[in-house]
Amino acid sequence: MLKAVRLDILLPMKALIVGIILAAFAVFAALPAPGLGWWDEIIFVLKGFAPLLAMFIGFVAILIGVADAKDRREAKKEAAEESEKKR
C-alpha cells in the first residue's frame, strides 16, 4: 500500500536539491578546462551590474533613512502628547 507523501517535508527538499544543482552548474560554468569557461563573461556581467546594484542599495538606504526619520518624529510627537496628558 502506498504511503501518503507529506508535502511540507517534500517541498523544502526539492528547493534544496534544485539549489545544489544550480550551485554546481555555476561552478562548472566558471571552470576553464572541464567546464564551460565562462569566467570572463561572468566578470564582465559583474562589472556591469555593480553600479546598478550600488544605485539600488543606495536608493533603499535613502528610503530606510527617511522612514526612520519619520518614525523618530512620530515617537517624539507621541511622547510630547503623553507628557501633556500627564499634566
Per-residue pLDDT of the chain (87 residues; tens, 9 = 90+): 556 666 666 667 888 889 999 999 999 998 888 888 888 998 999 899 999 999 999 999 999 999 999 999 999 999 888 888 776
pLDDT score, position 74: 93
What is the pTM (predicted TM-score) of this model?
0.54
pLDDT score, position 8: 66
CA quadruple 65, 71, 72, 76: dihedral, nearest 10? 160
The DSSP-derived string for 7-75 is HHHHHHHHHHHHHHHHHHHHHHHH-SSSS---HHHHHHHHHHHHHHHHHHHHHHHHHHHHHHHHHHHHH
pLDDT score, position 28: 92
pLDDT score, position 84: 83
